[in-house]
Structure 1
Amino acid sequence: MKQALSRLLPKSMRSNVVTIPVVRLQGMIASGGSSLRPTLSLASTAGLIEKAFAMKDAPAVAFSINSPGGSPVQSRLIYKRIRDLAREKNKHVYVFVEDVAASGGYMISLAGDEIVADPSSIVGSIGVVSAGFGFTELIKKIGVERRVHTAGNNKAVLDPFRPERKEDVERLKELQLEVHDTFIDMVKERRGAKLKDDGELFTGLFWSGKKGLELGLIDSLGDMRSFLKARYGEKTQLKLVTQPRGLLSRGFGLFGSRNASGLAGEAVHAALDAAEERAIWGRFGL
């Protein structure tokens, strides 16, 4: 009640309270998420990011990041939207790492003017990875014949039901190196002279927050609440920015709920994706 009444007073009569909007970015980074398995992408985060930067009186925007990575494209798009709005609105950006900011999660963290992590957080993994399975022996055992017809010699590159070809792997590695170079350039541009000259920095290894501080991957150790109160005063308030919840966000359309077959199909895909996501989180012991 007291806080509500204070908003009615002229600014000159209000108590000196600083409010910092907070955006939580948690999960795998990928386009095309679903209600059963939400993911981080520009489409899913743009509204939150823009809403946070729209708070005129806030001197800064804080981001809480907890992600093992994912799509390099979506990671860079989210990073760029944050940096574009930071320049446009002239606001400082703080990034606070929770459990993990690795690979694409660390790429997004680079949007911060300052990166803060817990001593036990996981940061880094500056690299690119592609993973899949080969089923050539399996289809032989179960008597399945693979039929692929293409217009273009390379349209079936890395088909998991065909033997792996050396030239396909070399092409994939070339592509990975290009994406890796882009990632490295971003780290060097944003972290600059803070980075320690370490030969393993860009090999895909990851470190604790404590070691990340030594390497220059982050700026300090701590937690969001304590850090921002120390920076802006004990009266500093944190305001979590959330998506509005309505009928559409709960899975209902203009003509009623989705049918059972649609939900079942989505559930199957979500379960498979969740297993893959669990394996990625598992790389970091989580």
Structure 2
Amino acid sequence: MFELLLILLLIYTLFPVIRHRQIASARFRAIRRLELSRKSRAITLIHRQETLSFLGIPFRSYIDIDDSEQILRAIRLTPDDMPIDLVLHTPGGLVLASEQIAEALNKHPAKVTVFVPHYAMSGGTMISLAADEIVMDENAVLGPVDPQLGRFPAASIIEVTKIKKADEISDNTLIMADIAKKAIRQVRNFVKQLLTPRMGEAKALEVAELLSGGHWTHDYPLGGKELKQLGLAVRFGLPREIYELMELYRQNPSRRPTVQYIPLPYQSNRRNNS
């Protein structure tokens, strides 16, 4: 009985590792299919909640320095005349890492295309602004890039200093407001720098101010039509390979599913009745 329990424990421990390697291999094959179909270097920046180890502990990930190091390395390994396709699915992350990635993409001589199958918020939007073209699903969204200081938007901290008198505000809040002004100015100038070659300095400044100035909540969804009105190079119609790739980045499977359906494409009612 003890040996049986030991074998079962070993299988229970090793199965997630084997499954993880199978999924990783399938992802590499899907990325390669995308590269061959588009004759490009394909890079993914996909943050989803996944299960690690046999304990099944989920964690959420964001754009960090490790991400920027890996993407910068991939860009360095790409010839100057080869296009880059970046698949983005992220809630955002560190401004430093996002700016590094955006700057490296902006400097790449060949065409850079960002694909957004679902959402690329905050730092993901900043990276998208560095692309020559943003290709989105019709229901996908980007978001504002206004800086956040801890739990609060930088613009809201500044707003407090406009409502209250200086002697009614704590020193800590005044210091945060000073930092907030610098943060907004830095992000606005960076976004303007990214957009100026594509839409001119005046329009780039207008868009940069709108995206970084705290005019919306940080999680406000900007759809493709709204982004087009801002003058961004957005089009709809993701390649089939992108959807196939995203199927390999499912959410934590250990939880009870909250969405279920038969995963098959249906024909129209007219054809079914015939």
1:189-200 equivalent positions in 2, closer than 5 A: 189-192=193-196, 193=199, 195=203, 197=206, 200=210
Q: In 2, are the aligned partners of 1:97 and 1:121 still within 8 Å (CA)?
A: yes
Which residue is 1:112 aligned to?
131
Given the alignment, which residue of 187, 190, 195 partners 1:186?
190
**Larger helix share, 1 or 2:** 2
Which residue is 2:47 aligned to?
27
Whether 1:69 aligns to 2:92 is yes
Which deviations, in whole Å up to 9, do the C-alpha atoms of 1:259-279 show, x marking residues without a partner? xxxxxxxxxxxxxxxxxxxxx
Which residues of structure 2 form unaligned runs of 5+? 1-35, 49-56, 153-168, 247-274
Given the alignment, which residue of 203, 220, 242 partners 2:213?
203
Aligned-partner Cα distance in 2 for 1:27–1:73: 17
1:266-281 equivalent positions in 2, closer than 5 A: none
Q: In 1, are the aligned partners of 2:117 and 2:238 still within 8 Å (CA)?
A: no
Residue 27 (structure 1) shift: 2.8
Aligned-partner Cα distance in 2 for 1:191–1:20: 23
- Cα 1:169–1:181 change in 2 (3 A) is same
Q: In 1, are the aligned partners of 2:146 and 2:211 still within 8 Å (CA)?
A: no
- Cα 1:203–1:98 change in 2 (3 A) is farther
1:48-197 equivalent positions in 2, closer than 5 A: 48-51=71-74, 54-56=77-79, 59-84=82-107, 86=108, 90-132=109-151, 166-192=170-196, 193=199, 195=203, 197=206
TM-score normalized by structure 2?
0.52
- Cα 1:56–1:77 change in 2 (3 A) is closer
TM-score normalized by structure 1?
0.50
Residue 179 (structure 1) shift: 1.4
Q: In 1, are the aligned partners of 2:184 and 2:213 still within 8 Å (CA)?
A: no
Aligned-partner Cα distance in 2 for 1:45–1:73: 9
- Cα 1:181–1:98 change in 2 (3 A) is farther
Q: Aligned partner of 1:99: which letter?
A: H
Residue 175 (structure 1) shift: 0.9
Percent of aligned positions with the same letter in both sequences?
Answer: 21
Q: In 2, are the aligned partners of 1:42 and 1:78 still within 8 Å (CA)?
A: no
Q: Aligned partner of 1:66: which letter?
A: H
* Cα RMSD for the two superposed structures: 3.8
- Cα 1:220–1:200 change in 2 (3 A) is closer
Q: Aligned partner of 2:102: which letter?
A: Y
Which residues of structure 1 form unaligned runs of 5+? 1-15, 29-33, 134-164, 229-237, 241-286
Residue 239 (structure 1) shift: 10
Residue 125 (structure 1) shift: 1.0
- Cα 1:23–1:166 change in 2 (3 A) is same
Q: In 2, are the aligned partners of 1:120 and 1:210 still within 8 Å (CA)?
A: no
